[in-house]
Amino acid sequence: MTVLDSVKDSLEMGPSGDRIESHLHPEGSFDVEDHAVPTGREEIWRFTPLRRLKGLHSDAPLDGDAFKVELDLPEGVTGASVPVSDSQRGASGLVPTDRVSARVWEAATSVLELTVPDDYVGDRAATVRVVGTGVDVASAGHLLVRAGKHSRSTVVVDYSGSATWAENLEIVVEDGAELTFVAVHGWADDAVHVVNQHASVGRDATLKHVAVTFGGDVVRSDTSVEYAGPGGSAELLGLYFADEGQHIEHRLFVDHTAPKTKSHVVYKGALQGEGAHTVWIGNVLIRKVAEGIETYEENRNLVLTDGCQADSVPNLEIETGEIEGAGHASATGRFDDEQLFYLRSRGVSETEARRLVVHGFFNDLIRKIDVPELEAKLTETVEAELSKNMSVLTGATENGVPTA
């Protein structure tokens, strides 16, 4: 069930020269007309239920205002809505690679710029709350987070409420900075959210990027990372929980554009209920220039009931053999009957045993996320998701053994 590849020894060298002929690296364009309306047959759209996107991918107007944005910033960190013409949008190197992103680029009139000054060091997270107030009109947003040189900070973007929301999100981690960026998708059941995130990691800078996704009808989050200099490090962590009918899709692309850079990806998800669908795409490209890099990506899914689908696709393309290490792992499994038996043989009820196993599944990830303000909330979120469907869970017992 587990696939673990160490690909260093079995490299297929790409063509020489600077041009990247990689299917992992589509040519972007700011022009909407360069991106045809997807049909669902395209590689990048084949998992997404287009019919439920409320036209975000085609031509629904993106001028709605059914949302509020609230800022809660520690002293020193600034946040301001800046007209597009005066903004620094594009600073991360974002070039739309799909139609939704290009449409947001075209529709946006302002950019919310969140700036952490150079040398800033803060423990309290800067929080941006996006609260949706209705799904009937589609809205677009552009957020630019900039962590100044040698700063250390945490930024949380917290999504809630009902919205049809298309978004471009840029993250710039300047040289020597350390940024923890967390997106919490706690949307209401009817929300649709398509977000394209692009991060630029500076020389010797560190980005910890966290996606927590448990709300919404459809959430499609595309995150790409490139390196603006050598020595940068990106850790991409994800925790998701899909319920009945929910579609949660995380697409990741780490583009090793500089030598001595690191990437480490761990995404873990649980699925429960009829029609729960998760998609994880983990793309990593190691360019010819990117010697001495290290990359590892991992996706694990825990399927709690019948009727769920977890798609997991790791891709790795390597254009230089001079690397420290590269690997990936993907596993999707059901509740382990032996684990449940072991716990129950110690007196623990079936419901409690299942709860323990799921918490255990997510625990090491929550520890890695390591944002004190979030830790309790994440554990509670897992708990709430579990209790929501505990009746579903206990209904799905094995071999007719009576349930507690």
Partner 1 sequence: MSKLEIKDLRVSVDTEDGAKEILKGVTLTIGDGETHAIMGPNGSGKSTLAYSIAGHPKYTITGGTVTLDGDDLLSMTVDERARAGLFLAMQYPVEVPGVSVANFLRTAKTAIDGEAPKLRTWVKEVNGAMEKMNLDPTFSQRSVNEGFSGGEKKRHEMAQLALLDPKVAVLDETDSGLDIDALKIVSEGINTFRERENKGVLLITHYTRILRYVKPDRVHVFVDGRVAESGGPELAEELEANGYDRFVRASV
Site residues (vs partner 1, CB under 8 A): 336-339, 341-350, 352-353, 356-357, 359-364, 398-399, 401-404
Minimum CB distance to partner 1, residue 398 (Å): 5
**Closest to partner 1 by CB, 353 or 374:** 353
Minimum CB distance to partner 1, residue 396 (Å): 13
**Closest to partner 1 by CB, 181 or 241:** 241
Minimum CB distance to partner 1, residue 270 (Å): 12
**Closest to partner 1 by CB, 80 or 404:** 404
Query: What are the backbone angles phi and psi of residue 322, rounded to the nearest 5°?
Result: -85, 70
Beta-sheet pairing, 78-83 with 110-116: antiparallel
Minimum CB distance to partner 1, residue 365 (Å): 9
Minimum CB distance to partner 1, residue 181 (Å): 24
Minimum CB distance to partner 1, residue 346 (Å): 4
**Closest to partner 1 by CB, 84 or 376:** 376
**Closest to partner 1 by CB, 107 or 356:** 356
**Closest to partner 1 by CB, 59 or 336:** 336
